[in-house]
Amino acid sequence: MNERIHAPQVRVIGPDGEQAGVMPIKQAWEEAMRYGMDLIEVAPNADPPVCRIMDYGKFRYERQKKAKEAVKKSSQNDLKSLRVRPNIGEHDINFKIRKAIKFLENGHKVKFNVIFRGPELRHKHIGRQQLQHFIDGCAEVSAVDIPPRMEGRQMTMLLRPKS
């Protein structure tokens, strides 16, 4: 009995995006060489595997470009942090509120930290009042994500921009 060995078959998509059909790998490779391009496997788990005739350098460049764009878009939700002390002045609080509003309008979350040192820890109510002042000052552009709470020697709160 004469068994014939079949060359592995692949489905080929041409450089213009149209299907060129199912053919042996060697023939697909020759087709890619005819166009002066590369044969790239795009769906290895398909039956038969799918290969595309394209310029690999251009493919890599566009993939890197998409990855950079995705990183740019995801980094817009950064967390900005503002630190204050319990004995901060009224002008300084208003300055921090203006800064927080600017961050929130740019789509960033803002974390407020009131840092207590030594005997200041006995006056946690002052820190809570300051954070409430920040909530009221940023109310038109933000919503409270994490309400004020103590974390060690500091009181923290997180505001997120309103959608």
pLDDT tens across 22-51, in order? 999 999 999 999 999 999 998 989 889 999
Q: Report how far residue 159's alpha carbon sits from residue 109's, in angstroms, rounded to the nearest whole number.
A: 6
Asked if residue 1 belongs to a domain, the reply is: no
Q: What is the pTM of this model?
A: 0.54
Q: Report how far residue 60's alpha carbon sits from residue 38's, in angstroms, rounded to the nearest whole number.
A: 12
Distance of CA 96 to the CA centre of its chain: 27
68 and 82, same domain (yes or no): no
Q: How many domains does the chain have?
A: 2
**Non-local CB neighbours of 106 within 8 Å, separated by 6+ positions:** 76
Q: Which residue has the higher pLDDT, 78 or 109?
A: 109
CB count within 10 Å of CB 124 equals: 15
| pLDDT tier for residue 1 given thresholds of 50, 70 and 90 | very low
Tell me the percentage of the chain whose pLDDT exceeds 90: 60
The pLDDT of 1-14, averaged and rounded, is: 74
At residue 82, the pLDDT reads 93
106 and 86, same domain (yes or no): yes
The pair of three-digit structure tokens given for residue 42, joined into one six-digit string = 């795009």
65 and 82, same domain (yes or no): no
* pLDDT above 90 (res 136): yes
